[in-house]
Structure 1
Amino acid sequence: MNKAEKNQQGFSLPEALIAALLLSVSVLGLLNYFQSLSHGFMRQWQVQQAWSEAHSQLEAYSATGNVTEPQIKGWEYQLSVFPVGQHCQRINVVILTPTHYQARLQRLLCEPGTGNPAG
C-alpha cells in the first residue's frame, strides 16, 4: 500500500451502520408523532361533528317534529322526548361517536303562546 491509500478518508462499515440505525430510529419517532397527531385531529373532528349533528337534530325536531336521517354511518343517535307541564316538551339528543365521545344537548319546546312550562 502506498501512502495515498492509507490517507483515504470515508466512513467505515460500522459507522455507516450506526448512521443508518440512528436515521431509522429518528424516522420511526417522527412517524409515531405523525400518527399521534392524526389520531388527535380525527378525534377533534369527531367531537366537532358530534356537536354539530346534535344541534342539527334538535333544529330538525323543533321545525318538523321529526329527526333527520343520520348523516354519518357508524355513529349512534338517540332522541328522547319528555313532557314538561301541559304545553311543553324537553327534547334530549345524544350522539355517540366511534371513539365513544358523547355529545348531549337538550331543548325545551313549548306550544306557541304558552311560554310557561308549568302550564
Structure 2
Amino acid sequence: MVNASGKEDISQQGFSLPEALIAALLLSVSVLGLLNYYQSLTYGFMRQWQVQQAWSEAHSQLEAYAATGQSHETVMKGWEYQLSGISFGQSCQRVNIVIRSPAKYQAILQRLICK
C-alpha cells in the first residue's frame, strides 16, 4: 500500500511475541488443570471398582464357605482376606470375612451358618 508521501506502508499482521507467550501460558495451565481432573477421575473410578470387587469377593467367600466348609482361593493380586469362625452351640457357626483391597478399603461381612 502506498501512502500520501509516496512511501510504501507495511502494516504488520499476526501476534506479537508477548501475546503468543501469554496464549501459550494460558493453554499450558488449562491442559495441566484438565490432566489433574482426569487423574482424580481415574483414581475415583479405580477406588469405586475396588469397593465393588471387595463386597463381591466377600460375598463369594461366604457362599463358598457355607457350601463347602472352606473358602476358595482368591485370584486378585495384592488383595488380602481373612476368614474366621466362632461356634454357636452344637450346630451353628458365625463366620466373619474381611477383604482388604490394594487401596486399603475393607469389606467386612458376617454370616450365621447352621447345619
Tell me which stretches of 4 or more aligned residues in structure 1 moved more than 2 Å. none
Letter in 2 for 1:70: T
For 1:1-119, what aligned pairs fall within 5 Å after superposition? Answer: 2-3=8-9, 5=10, 7-111=11-115
Total equivalences in the alignment: 109
Structure 2 unaligned regions, length at least 5 = 1-6
Quote the sequence identity (%): 73
Q: Could you list the runs of 5+ residues in structure 1 that have no partner in the other structure? A: 112-119
Query: TM-score by structure 2 length?
Result: 0.91
Shift of 1:66: 1.0
| Aligned partner of residue 73 in structure 2, secondary structure | coil
CA deviations on 1:20-61 (whole Å, 9 max, x unpaired) are 110000000000000000000000000000000000000000
Q: State the alpha-carbon separation in 2 of the partners of residues 2 and 79 from structure 1.
A: 90
